[in-house]
Amino acid sequence: MKKLLLVLIAVIGISFAANAQNAIGVRLGGGQGYNAELSFQKGLGASRLEFDLGWHNFEHSSAFSFAAIYQFHQGIAAVPNLGWFVGVGGKLDYWSALPSNNVALGIVGQAGLDYQFQAVPLQLSLDIRPCFYLIPDTNFHWGDVALGIRYTF
């Protein structure tokens, strides 16, 4: 887990030197638990990378997760500053539930809308992220709808 956090910090640090639209903030979701994720987006022109480090609290367990997603982003001409995005990536979950701890690895998809304010450096997004788990066994989760609130720079 420490290595994962160090990699995330390194990616964020390197991204500050680049000249693309970046964003940092939170991604808040509902569904199965009270989900909160630290979220970082690295702009790559018409696409971007999103890295999320999350904490999830369920009825009888808690979990940590890391997601890395490559997204294609496109504006909506009829509504200035509004855009849509789709992406694919990976997810690693670690959760503790008595009597044991578990690790899961999966492939995620993501689709949503985002709005970039002009007067302030703020981005709001609404998305869904389904996941097809491969480890420890195959399982599909439709994902939760989440609200992203990010500072853009």
> Has residue 64 got a pLDDT over 50?
yes
Confidence at 95, pLDDT banded by 50, 70, 90: confident
Residue 76 CA, distance from chain mean position: 22
Lowest-confidence pick of 43-57, 71-85, 90-104, 137-151:
90-104
Residue 72 CA, distance from chain mean position: 14
Give pLDDT, residue 127. 96
Q: What is the reported pTM?
A: 0.81
CATH at 110: 2.40.160.20
Question: What are the tokens at 59?
Answer: 């009825």
Confidence at 29, pLDDT banded by 50, 70, 90: confident
Count structural domains, the chain.
Answer: 1
Distance CA 132, CA 48 (A): 22
Confidence at 18, pLDDT banded by 50, 70, 90: very low
Domain of residue 116, residue span: 2-152
Question: What are the tokens at 86?
Answer: 């789709």
Question: What are the tokens at 53?
Answer: 């480090």
Q: Do 41 and 23 form a contact (C-beta atoms < 8 A)?
A: yes
Confidence at 33, pLDDT banded by 50, 70, 90: low
Own/partner contacts of 62-66, CB < 8 Å, gap of 24 or more, are 62/95, 62/96, 63/33, 63/93, 63/94, 63/95, 63/96, 64/1, 64/93, 64/94, 64/95, 65/37, 65/91, 65/92, 65/93, 65/94, 66/4, 66/8, 66/91, 66/92
